[in-house]
Amino acid sequence: MSKQQDLQIDDQWIRSLRGTKNHIDPLRPAHFLIEKERTLSGTIEDVITIFLTNRECRFTCLMCDLWKNTTDIPVPPGAIPTQIEWALEQLPAARHIKLYNSANFFDPGAIPPADYPGIAALVKTFETVIIENHPLLTGELCLQFARMIHPGLQVAMGLETIHPEALHKLNKKMKPEDFQRSVAFLKKNGISSRAFILLRPPFLTEEEGIHWAKKSLTYAFESGTDSCTVIPTRAGNGAMEHLQQKGLFSPPRIQSLEEVQAYGIGLRAGPVFADTWDLEQFSRCDLCFEKRRQRMEQMNLFQKNLPPLSCSCLNNSLLSSN
């Protein structure tokens, strides 16, 4: 683990390094898309993702840049159902939907509970609704919403890493046990869960990043979570660039993501996905990048490890340091 000198990482410090937020319309989602994904039942199906616009998350995680598409004050009542309705009108039909809100679905300041019935009515034809939430906010509101909707609910939560110091420095204000308790609560109430695992958060070397991502995957499944998504840690929020300049953060290599994805799938404990968004930034080689991306996406869909790819860039990378 890198020396952190006397850095005082807290909300104030992280916020002081931010740029400006994007201009957003509270009656429109920030973005929406449809893509194929492996479901918990093992089928490959279309999944809609709507990135809802709402008030900024109350946590201030070190690596998070989701605040860019959020408001400073709660959106008006009815705005969230309006966003969902509008996005669904633009999209083809699907059986699964992610309602990601760049914050926590069960934060009443982000998604007003008064809007739950309106949201439930809009998603009633889906089989699965996947939302994102901080482990510390798993509770009665979650059960209230789950009772209201017809589809099965899945809660996606950031475990991030179980490296104690790195998790503390992420300023997520939780411990791995909070994640574990949250998964157990959801499971007891018939709600499935998905863990987000960060590959190489700040302060870890490449090897440590791989090692702790694997340990975190194992921990997530041993805690009872149903699936995991491995996210290569990215810069992009000001604080991460600052750490990068100080040599305290480097984005992981694409080969490390391949290794952790293969490890996770090999556990056979549930689907493990590698996050391939903006993947080119983790590659240093134009010769093999496209093949690596395709291989990872195939492994995401079929949950089967494919033979590793060889390329001359691997010999070069062995010669360079972290």
Binding site for Zn ion (CB under 5 A): 285, 287-288, 311, 313
**Minimum separation from the CB atom of position 254 to Zn ion (A):** 9
Instruction: Annotate 11-31 with DSSP letters as a single string.
Output: HHHHHHT--PPPP--TTS-SE
Report what 66 binds from ligand SF4, Zn ion, none; CB cut-off 5-8 Å by kind. Answer: ligand SF4
First and final C-alpha spacing in the chain = 12
Which does residue 287 touch among Zn ion, ligand SF4, none (CB within 5 to 8 A, set by kind)? Zn ion
Per DSSP (E only), the strands in 215-301 are: 227-232, 272-274
Q: Which of residues 79-118 bind ligand SF4 (CB under 6 A)?
A: 102-103
Tell the smallest beta-carbon distance from residue 274 to Zn ion (Å): 17
The verdict on 57 binding ligand SF4 (CB under 6 A) reads yes
CA distance 1 to 121: 49
Under rule CB under 6 A, residue 184 binds ligand SF4: no
Residues 154-173 that bind ligand SF4 (CB under 6 A): 158, 172
Most distant CA atoms of the chain, gap in Å? 58
Determine, following the binding rule CB under 6 A, whether residue 64 of this chain makes contact with ligand SF4: yes
Least CB distance to ligand SF4 at residue 64 (A): 3
* CA distance linking residue 62 with residue 69, whole number of Å: 17
Span near ligand SF4 by CB under 6 A; candidates 53-61, 82-90, 178-186, 287-295: 53-61
Which of residues 134 and 214 has its CB atom nearest to ligand SF4 in the complex? Answer: 134
By a kind-dependent CB cut-off of 5 to 8 A, residue 59 interacts, out of Zn ion, ligand SF4, none, with ligand SF4
Q: Which does 57 bind (CB under 5 to 8 A by kind): ligand SF4, Zn ion, none?
A: ligand SF4
By beta-carbon proximity to ligand SF4, the closer residue of 1 and 66 is 66
Alpha carbon distance 291, 302 (integer Å): 16
Count of residues near ligand SF4 by CB under 6 A: 11
Give dist(CA 48, CA 82) in Å, integer. Answer: 16
Angle subtended by helix axes 206-222 and 176-188, to nearest 10: 30
How far is residue 196's CA from residue 156's CA, in Å, rounded to a whole number?
A: 7
Helix (H, G, I), strand (E, B), or coil: what is residue 300?
helix
Phi-psi region of 32 (alpha: psi -120 to 50; beta: other; left: phi over 0): beta
66, 184, 285, 311: which one contacts ligand SF4 (CB under 6 A)? 66
Which residue lies nearer to Zn ion by CB, 222 or 290? Answer: 290
Under the binding rule (CB under 6 A), the answer on residue 53 touching ligand SF4 is no
Q: Using only the alpha carbons of the chain, give its radius of gyration.
A: 19
- Residues forming contacts to ligand SF4 in the complex (CB under 6 A) are 57, 59-61, 64, 66, 102-103, 134, 158, 172
